[in-house]
Structure 1
Amino acid sequence: MSKVLVVSDSHGLTNELEVLRARHLNEVDLMIHCGDSEMMPDDNVMNGYLTVKGNCDFGSYPLETTTEIAGRKFFVTHGHRYSVKSSLMNLKYKAAEVGADIVCFGHSHVLGAEVIGGTLFLNPGSIRMPRERLEKTYVILDLLDETIKMSVYDISGRELKELAFEFELPKK
């Protein structure tokens, strides 16, 4: 079993990203930041995070990236180039193009997760300026053989158990 931490839209926060890393470093296998960190790629606060470039970022971050863990292919992007605030359709086409099992994105600051066409689309919300919820959130995914368990946490590390969800997602 592998675990993946997903965070996005920290917009200049540094201590919080360091706290997340220290809090979960020994329990997760991968830490993803979906952009708008507003930090330079070589800043120490970004160490350990697989990061993409958001619309508020500068520096040499990639616009998008893919990685594989536990037999699952992740596609990571900020989302602004796919108009995620209005629809996931463009992102769905890109996910199909790259063969992604899980798509992680941010930009809208709205926590959400859904399976579309056998692919999990996940936005962990924002740890700085959440929209549609008061809690400043990030997500940890447990990658199991046929399912993915999603746990949602607020910035203090408190699990929001009412938001936990289990997705049936057999490996492709």
Structure 2
Amino acid sequence: MPTVLITSDSHGFKDELKKLKERYKEKVDGMIHCGDSELDFNHPAMEGFYKVAGNCDYDPEYEEELMIDIKGLRFFIAHGHRHNVKITLDPIAYHAEEEQATIVCHGHSHLAHATKIGNQLVINPGSIRLPRGRREETYAILSWGNTAYSVTFYQLNGKEVKSLSQQFIL
């Protein structure tokens, strides 16, 4: 079953990103960082991530958004600050739909969630440094097969946040 690690809003955390990469390097098919790392694009902690610029990232090498395919699944990745994700998910979902993406990954609000919008799955992994709406810092693991999708949220220590984890059919 293909699996992807999704994180965001690490705001300067380096060691934590390195630990996540070590924990999952042989277990996932891709790693995504949805912005606000506050690290240079080529910083060793960011190596191996598909990554975009957040509103706190100033290295011009970062793209504002990315379209990628992992194991036959199309992802749209953006931080979300240019799509008003703190107000509504509609603009980012619409933009991703135009790009024919099934999975939308974003950050910015620091609010961990997975939401189905039409035939898309919109995932915000939360923040591994400054969570909002809950105490636990979070990142997400997306797994899929055929039409079934599983989004599991974890704390940095690897403990699952069961109240956030969900299953979807698209």
TM category (shorter chain) comes to over 0.9
Relative to the length of structure 2, the TM-score reads: 0.97
Which residue pairs with 1:7 in the alignment? 7
Q: Is the counterpart of residue 90 in structure 1 residue 76 in structure 2?
A: no
Across the two proteins, how many residue pairs are aligned to each other? Answer: 169
Structure 1: runs of 5 or more not aligned? none
Contact 2:79/2:108, CA 8 A, preserved across alignment:
yes
Contact 2:67/2:75, CA 8 A, preserved across alignment:
yes
Q: Is the counterpart of residue 167 in structure 1 residue 168 in structure 2?
A: yes
Mapped partners of 1:166, 1:12: distance in 2: 31
Q: Could you say what the CA RMSD is over the residues aligned between the two structures, in angstroms? A: 0.8
Mapped partners of 2:88, 2:36: distance in 1: 20
Q: Secondary structure at the match of 1:86?
A: coil
Q: Secondary structure at the match of 2:97?
A: helix
Cα deviation, residue 96, structure 1: 1.5
Contact 2:112/2:164, CA 8 A, preserved across alignment:
no
Q: Is the counterpart of residue 64 in structure 1 residue 69 in structure 2?
A: no
Contact 1:125/1:136, CA 8 A, preserved across alignment:
yes
Which residue pairs with 1:149 in the alignment? 150
Matches within 5 A, 1:46-125: 46-59=46-59, 60-125=61-126
2:157 partner letter? S
Relative to the length of structure 1, the TM-score reads: 0.96
Percent sequence identity is: 46
Contact 2:31/2:50, CA 8 A, preserved across alignment:
yes
Q: Give the ranges of 4+ consecutive aligned residues of structure 1 lying more than 6 Å apart after TM superposition.
A: none
Mapped partners of 2:88, 2:103: distance in 1: 17
